[in-house]
């Protein structure tokens, strides 16, 4: 009868020693960065200028980038695809929808505003962060191009980063004048 408490004690010790600390990735740990884009006034390129009614849609996507859906802002953060070497976005200024009085029928909707298409090309590079966080992707040798549609509201695109690498979200990577 005396052996049962001792057996339970040893089983408890073995169970406690078999536990290990949970691997939890801290929120402060840098992960795959978004591309930070700031908008400037074309007449005074040192002055930030907000874009009214901005909507950003990834090419081939049916819904816009969640943080940039008809907003007025002078800077945005957009995600780049980690499994490809280029991401194309449609930047729609003064975005609006006229549903022709039929809100349930999207086939007759008229989209207002001015869309511009940009493509960001890069070399994705996976970097090991930790066991808890796994890998993050940084984007090397990035460049940005604007598709000329004859009615561009975007005037110039400039890479801000000297080393052409997107590895954090501490500063802007691309400046756009309009």
Residues near 74 by beta carbon (within 8 Å), at least 6 away in sequence: 38, 39, 48, 49, 50, 51
In angstroms, the CA 138 to CA 135 distance is 10
Position 1 confidence tier, pLDDT thresholds 50, 70, 90: low
Q: In DSSP terms, which residues pair with 77 in a beta bridge?
A: 36
pLDDT, residue 29, reads 84
Spatial contact of 140 and 125, defined as CB atoms under 8 Å apart: yes
pLDDT, residue 6, reads 74
36-82 per-position pLDDT tens digit: 999 999 999 889 999 999 999 999 888 888 888 888 999 999 999 99
Half-sphere exposure (Cβ direction) of 54: Cα atoms closer than 13 Å: 26
Position 10 confidence tier, pLDDT thresholds 50, 70, 90: confident
109-125 per-position pLDDT tens digit: 788 899 999 999 999 99
Give CA separation, 154 vs 17, 141, 164, 170, in Å.
62, 22, 21, 24
Residues near 111 by beta carbon (within 8 Å), at least 6 away in sequence: 92, 95, 96, 97
Nearest residue to 82 (alpha-carbon basis) of 35, 42, 130: 35
131-150 CB burial, b ≥16 within 10 A, e <16:
eeeeebbbbeebebebeeee
In angstroms, the CA 32 to CA 51 distance is 26
């Amino acid at each position: 009868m005396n052996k049962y408490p001792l057996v339970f004690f040893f089983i408890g010790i073995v169970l406690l020693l078999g536990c290990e600390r949970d691997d939890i990735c801290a929120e402060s740990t840098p992960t795959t960065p978004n591309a930070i884009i700031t908008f400037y006034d074309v007449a005074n390129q040192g002055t930030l200028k907000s874009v009214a009614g901005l909507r950003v849609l990834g090419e081939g996507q049916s819904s816009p980038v969640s943080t940039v859906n008809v907003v007025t802002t002078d800077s945005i953060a957009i995600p780049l695809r980690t499994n490809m070497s280029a991401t194309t976005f449609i930047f729609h200024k003064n975005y609006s929808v006229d549903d022709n009085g039929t809100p349930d029928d999207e086939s007759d909707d008229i989209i207002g505003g001015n869309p511009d298409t940009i493509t960001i090309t890069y070399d994705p590079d996976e970097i090991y962060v930790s066991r808890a966080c796994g890998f993050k992707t940084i984007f090397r040798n990035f460049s940005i191009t604007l598709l000329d549609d004859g009615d561009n509201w975007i005037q110039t695109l400039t890479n801000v980063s000297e080393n052409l690498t997107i590895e954090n979200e501490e500063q802007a990577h691309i400046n756009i004048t309009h």
